[in-house]
């Protein structure tokens, strides 16, 4: 089969011919139809991700496809079932083996490309906003990096939860996508005085930060007393330093969030969140926004789009049958 492999730490991924994997006990073999790309894939390429396998390994955390074979002891999902799964790695290939228990059956109406861009982005925003930030209707939600695949889901879900959403993104196209997703206020990160603009709107009750760097600092200064700041990631490449004395003075909570960690310590919370999201999808309340779709042979171009932050929405790689 074809697969995008990392052969050594820090080495660029290469499309290679490799053996098709066989499912071990408790696993299923997936014929991959689509794979969602994530910022974490870039960190894995650099060798800096906090939860990565030792090389050699195949990239691709987020998979949608069809169950092709069972390992020992597995009866479900049945052969032929359409599923999505957060695998951690292995998805940028024609076939992948995953734990059977992680597979989520897909609604018949959900295309594979949408399913491959759904779990991590929507799952991250939903669990972060509901469980960790405790976002309430009527609160003001500030979303940094609102034009990206994850940020757009925070805008969409925040609006669906009744929040007044302020979307911060770079350029007209990304801001337009944020407005379409439900943002009430738009701030161009390239031009604006972020602190001043957010303060003029009444300040932020909850901040969703997937960017870090200087934007975190400005958002922190625009956060209202008893506000909550969700630390989702550092797309800027800069991890901000948080002055504890300022937390004390402002009575602000800074909340760390890593969606994948719930696989280990809070699986029930994660599966419950995904079940609610699937219900919202089937009811037409939310929709994955695919910014670019590329074939497997061009996955490196998709990774470059992520690196350059040139796409509004999710980047998905499709795999021909």
Pair (136, 160) in one structural domain: yes
CATH number, domain with residue 141: 3.40.50.720
Expressed as residue numbers, the domain containing 243 is 123-259
* Number of domain units in the chain: 2
In which element (H, E) is residue 291 found? strand 290-295
Pair (36, 91) in one structural domain: yes
Does any domain span residue 266?
no
Given 220, 239, 259, the domain boundary residue is 259
Q: Are 60 and 88 in contact (CB under 8 A)?
A: no
Pair (10, 99) in one structural domain: yes
Does any domain span residue 278?
no
Does any domain span residue 269?
no
Pair (111, 148) in one structural domain: no
Pair (172, 73) in one structural domain: no
Q: Are 171 and 197 in contact (CB under 8 A)?
A: no
Pair (128, 45) in one structural domain: no
What gap in Å lies between CA 112 and CA 123, rounded to an integer? 17
Pair (247, 162) in one structural domain: yes
Pair (144, 181) in one structural domain: yes
CATH number, domain with residue 303: 3.90.180.10
Pair (30, 127) in one structural domain: no
pLDDT value of position 123: 95
pLDDT value of position 310: 87
Does any domain span residue 305?
yes
Q: Mean pLDDT of residues grouped by 10 in the chain (321 residues)?
A: 93 95 97 95 90 91 97 96 94 97 92 94 96 98 94 96 97 94 95 93 97 94 97 89 89 94 88 92 92 96 92 92 78
**Prediction pTM value:** 0.88
Does any domain span residue 310?
yes
pLDDT value of position 142: 98
Does any domain span residue 14?
yes
CB-neighbour burial class of residue 132 (10 A; exposed 0-12, middle 13-18, buried 19+): middle
pLDDT value of position 27: 97
Does any domain span residue 270?
no
Pair (187, 132) in one structural domain: yes
What gap in Å lies between CA 183 and CA 168, rounded to an integer? 10
Sequence-distant (6+) residues with CB within 8 A of 51 are: 88, 260, 261
Does any domain span residue 227?
yes
pLDDT value of position 243: 87
Pair (44, 88) in one structural domain: yes
Instruction: Kindly state the DSSP code that residue 22 receives in the 8-state scheme.
Output: -
Pair (89, 127) in one structural domain: no
Residue 206, classed as helix, strand or coil, is strand
């Amino acid at each position: 089969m074809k697969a995008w492999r990392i052969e050594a730490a820090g080495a660029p991924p290469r499309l290679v011919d490799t053996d098709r994997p066989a499912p071990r006990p408790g696993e299923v073999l997936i014929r991959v139809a689509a794979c969602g790309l994530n910022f974490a894939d870039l960190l894995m390429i650099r060798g800096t991700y906090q939860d990565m396998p030792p090389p050699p390994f195949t990239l691709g955390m987020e998979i949608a496809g069809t169950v092709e074979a069972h390992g020992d002891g597995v009866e479900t999902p049945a052969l032929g079932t359409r599923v999505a799964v957060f695998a951690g790695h292995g998805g940028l290939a024609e076939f992948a083996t995953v734990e059977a228990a992680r597979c989520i059956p897909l609604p018949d109406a959900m295309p594979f490309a949408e399913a491959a861009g759904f779990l991590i982005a929507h799952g991250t925003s939903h669990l972060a906003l509901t469980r960790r930030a405790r976002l309430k209707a009527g609160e003001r939600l500030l979303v940094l990096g609102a034009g990206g695949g994850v940020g757009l889901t925070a805008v969409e879900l925040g609006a669906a939860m009744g929040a007044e959403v302020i979307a911060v993104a770079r350029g007209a196209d990304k801001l337009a996508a944020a407005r379409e997703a439900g943002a009430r206020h738009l701030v161009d990160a390239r031009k604006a005085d972020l602190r001043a603009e957010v303060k003029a709107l009444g300040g932020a009750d909850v901040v969703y930060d997937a960017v870090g760097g200087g934007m975190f600092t400005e958002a922190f200064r625009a956060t209202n007393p008893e506000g909550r700041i969700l630390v989702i990631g550092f797309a800027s490449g800069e991890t901000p330093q948080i002055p504890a004395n300022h937390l004390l003075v402002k009575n602000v909570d800074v909340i760390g969030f890593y969606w994948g960690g719930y696989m280990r310590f809070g699986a029930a919370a994660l599966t419950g969140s995904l079940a609610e999201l699937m219900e919202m999808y089937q009811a037409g309340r939310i929709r994955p926004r695919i910014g670019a779709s590329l074939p497997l042979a061009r996955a490196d171009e998709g990774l470059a789009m992520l690196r350059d932050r040139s796409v509004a929405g999710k980047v998905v790689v499709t795999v021909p049958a």
